[in-house]
Amino acid sequence: MSGLTFDIAHLLAGSLVLISFMMLYQDRLFALINVFALHAVVLALSVAWQAYIQDAHHLYITAGIALVFKAIVIPVGLHRIIQRLGIHRDIETAVGIGPTMLAGIGLVTLSMVLMLRVTPEADPLAREDLAFALSIILLGLLVMVTRRNAVSQVVGFMSLENGLVLAATGAKGMPLVVEISVAFSILIAFIVIGVFLFRIRERFDSVDVGALDDYRGERR
């Protein structure tokens, strides 16, 4: 593999990790969604680049899904939902930004150490993709646990899922990648439709997921 193709793949995957970090400190919902749209665009580029260097044409479909569905349709939909539900104010983060960033750095270090250590024999590109993908997945989880708002949890989940798509496309010749990305898009569509149809904001006094324990009188 020539140096340039490798560097470009590396650059794109690395930018995804950086954008994941940007999500950690967004304190407004609109900004968070815009950052997520950027995440999806970079993912689409990265997947398309993999499709090109692996000569795997079916991956262009995955790239297309990422671009159209995740970078355009979902963010636009979420913008409208937020306006309808009237929650375009600050995000209530459960943990402060400083500790969150530190935790994020810790998680990225962890995934680098872990993945680079267990895959010494794998193809270097796949290996680094995997390490970046695990970082993105863990950062996505971090977004989900530090936010208590349904919409930002969805955004966290979607960024996590972007990490999975990156890992799946990095694994050379993996079958069912397109099917899995379609399955995930359906899952996400369900989540977003669920937020909207069930008016999670309107029907619940808060979108706080921790409230049910109180409701049942079984506070743990």
Partner 1 sequence: MTGFSFDAVAAILFIPAGAAAVLATMPNYRMTAAVNVAASLLTLLAALSLFVTERPAPGQYLLIDDLNIVFIVLNTFVGFTTSVFSASYIGHELETGRLTAPNLRFYHAMYQIMMFGMNLAFVSNNIGLMWVAVELATLTTVLMVGIYRTHEALEAAWKYFILGSVGIALALFGTILVYMAAQPVVGEGTNAMVWSVLIEKAAHFDPALLSVAFIFLLLGYGTKVGLAPLHAWLPDAHAEGPTPISAVLSGLLLNVALYAVLRFKLLLAANPQAIGPGPLMVTMGLTSLIFAAFMLYRRRDIKRLFAYSSIEHMGIIVFAFGMGGPLANFAGLLHMVMHSLTKSAIFFAVGHIAQVKGTQKISEIRGLTESHPGLGWALVIGVVAIAGLPPLGIFMSEFLVVSSTFARHPWLAIPLVFGLLIAFGALLLRLTGVAFGEPRGGMAPVEASYVPMYSHLALVFAAGIYLPAPLVAWFQHVAGILG
Q: Reduce the DSSP state of residue 28 to 3 states and report it.
A: strand
Least distance from partner 1 to the Cβ atom of residue 157, Å: 6
Instruction: Choose, by CB under 8 A, the member of 44, 59, 91, 168 that binds partner 1.
Output: 168
Stretch that binds partner 1, among 25-33, 69-77, 80-88, 190-198 (CB under 8 A): 190-198
Instruction: Choose, by CB under 8 A, the member of 126, 131, 142, 151 that binds partner 1.
Output: 126
What distance in Å separates the CA atoms of residue 192 and residue 200, rounded to the nearest whole number? 11
Catalogue the E-assigned strands of 130-173: none
Nearer to partner 1 (CB atom), residue 27 or residue 179? 179
Stretch that binds partner 1, among 14-22, 44-52, 77-85, 173-181 (CB under 8 A): 173-181
Q: Does 194 bind partner 1 (CB under 8 A)?
A: yes
Q: Does 57 bind partner 1 (CB under 8 A)?
A: no
Q: What is the CA radius of gyration of the chain?
A: 18
Q: Does 167 bind partner 1 (CB under 8 A)?
A: yes
Nearer to partner 1 (CB atom), residue 56 or residue 71? 56
Output the six-digit token pair for 60: 């262009």
Q: Does 87 bind partner 1 (CB under 8 A)?
A: no
What distance in Å separates the CA atoms of residue 177 and residue 108, rounded to the nearest whole number? 25
Instruction: Choose, by CB under 8 A, the member of 43, 87, 91, 134 that binds partner 1.
Output: 134
Q: Does 103 bind partner 1 (CB under 8 A)?
A: no
Sequence-distant contacts of 94-100: CB under 8 A, at least 24 apart? 94/145, 94/146, 94/147, 94/148, 95/146, 97/24, 97/25, 97/27, 100/24, 100/25, 100/142, 100/146
Task: Write down the residue that tokens 């044409």 correspond to.
Answer: 57
Least distance from partner 1 to the Cβ atom of residue 158, Å: 10
Tally of CA atoms within 13 A in the half-sphere of 10 that contains its CB: 11
Cβ proximity of 139 and 108 under 8 Å: yes
Residues forming the site for partner 1 (CB under 8 A):
114-115, 117-119, 121-122, 126, 130, 133-134, 137, 141, 144, 150, 153, 157, 160-161, 163-164, 167-168, 171-176, 179-180, 183, 187, 190-191, 194, 198, 200, 203-204, 209, 211-212, 215-218
